[in-house]
Structure 1
Amino acid sequence: MSSDSAAIECLALEKKLGHKFKDPRILVQALSHRSVGSPNNERLEYLGDSVLGCVIAEFLYHQFPKLPEGDLTKMRAALVRQKTLSILARDLNFPAHLIMGSGEVKSGGYNRDSILSDAFEAVVGALYLDGGMSAVKNVLGKLYKDLLKTIKPAELEDSKTLLQETLQKQELSLPVYQVIAQSGKAHSLTFTVSCKVPGIESVFIATGNSRKKAEKSAAALAVEALNK
């Protein structure tokens, strides 16, 4: 899509977001993939990623006053992961609004989860610059209303899955798990497992009464550290 037609399409997107941009150009930039050259949405994506995480963390903090940090961290990770953001982006009809180079258009980039989720974060960054944190909370409060109503800690995907998605989002290598100790009798073994992410100095260690449980606990520690 050309930038001129995108500016017209942005009017429709503003209505869906419920925010009238003082400077519509920043919304156009948020929807501009790097394949169009510069300016594009990469810097806005960087900003929006942090703002999104902060706002969702606050929403969860107030909605679940008795939940411990670990559960809140898992819930936040589920709400800001690529899959969730791409679904929200499609609900807002982002594929029709994205500005992309011809190569990306031909390859179907406008419907790729990674590109849609990046654009969603970039739009959050644009909202923050245009209207401040109040504008972001207002828009995200509406977009996440149903998700926040239905999300439950017990129904979240396991921490190993969340760690893998977190690493992929940050373009880091997949984790390596290793049993470093085993104790107890055959019917009541305790496993100590390490979780090492290539390129990161920290090693995350946890125990459990099965290897699988120990790996999940170690992965949860890694997710918490990476999100911080």
Structure 2
Amino acid sequence: MNPLYDELEDALGYSFRDRTLLARAMTRLAAAKEESHDDGWSMDALATLGDATIDVVVLEHLIGGGMESKGELSLTKMNMVNMTVLRQLAESFDLHRYVTWGKGESKQGIWQSGRVLAECMEAVCGAAYLDGGIAAVRTILMHLGFFG
């Protein structure tokens, strides 16, 4: 396990019971292949799950705050949960420092472009969901100041 995971958990405000989920969430597909893991060891599936769980937490927050209109809910969620916002959230605590990158990704500094860090943030939330349910994802988002 990465010795920085204690620090990462502090940054997230959540301690994983199953750190293998966190390790998987922090492993890019290229790195998994370089380390001879199967494709299922990488963050990809967890990012997909994380995307969905973030949506649920945001919708719960909006509805709990009194928002009722389907159109308003959809638009507000879309504005709150997008690649730019998730990337900025990941950058706020230097998430890239904890990710196991493939050699080529590391040389290129791939985390500096586009959606890569956003996907890493989604993977963390997907792993947290499997580890502690929707409450774990809510805890992380609240701790990181996602809701302001």
Whether 2:21 is the aligned partner of 1:20: answer: no
Equivalent pair of 2:67/2:73 in contact (CA under 8 Å): no
Residues paired across the two proteins, number: 140
Cα deviation, 1:58-102, whole Å, max 9, x if unaligned, reads 111112x25522122111111110000000001121111111111
Contact kept, 8 Å, 1:26 with 1:126, in 2: the verdict is yes
Cα–Cα, structure 1 residues 28 and 66, in superposed 2: closer, same or farther, change >3 Å? closer
Name which of 42, 45, 65 aligns with 2:44: 42
Cα RMSD of the aligned pairs, angstroms, is 1.4
Contact 2:22 2:124 in 1 (8 A): yes
- Greater RCO, 1 or 2 (C-alpha within 8 Å, sep 6+): 2
Partner-residue secondary structure (3-state), 1:113 = coil
Partner of 1:180: none
The one-letter amino acid paired with 2:120 is: A
Change (3 A) 1:105 1:76: same
Structure possessing the higher radius of gyration over alpha carbons: 1
Question: Which residue number in structure 1 is paired with residue 62 of structure 2?
Answer: 60
Distance 1:23 1:119 in 2: 18
Q: Residues 108 and 61 from structure 1, CA distance in 2 versus in 1: closer, same or farther, beyond 3 angstroms?
A: same
- The amino acid that maps onto 2:13 is G
Mapped contact 1:32–1:100 kept (Cα < 8 A): yes
CA distance in 1, matches of 2:45, 2:82: 19
Deviation of 1:105 after TM superposition, in Å, equals 1.0
TM-score by length of 1: 0.58
Distance 1:66 1:110, change over 3 A: closer
1:98–1:110 Cα contact (<8 Å) kept: no
Aligned position for 1:117 = 118
Q: Which residue of 2 aligns with 1:140?
A: 141
Gaps (5+ residues) in structure 1? 147-228
**Paired AA for residue 45 in structure 1:** A
1:123-202 to structure 2, matched below 5 A, reads 123-143=124-144, 144-146=146-148
More strand per residue = 1
Structure 1 pair 130–66 and aligned structure 2 pair: CA distance change class (3 A): closer
Q: Percent identity?
A: 29
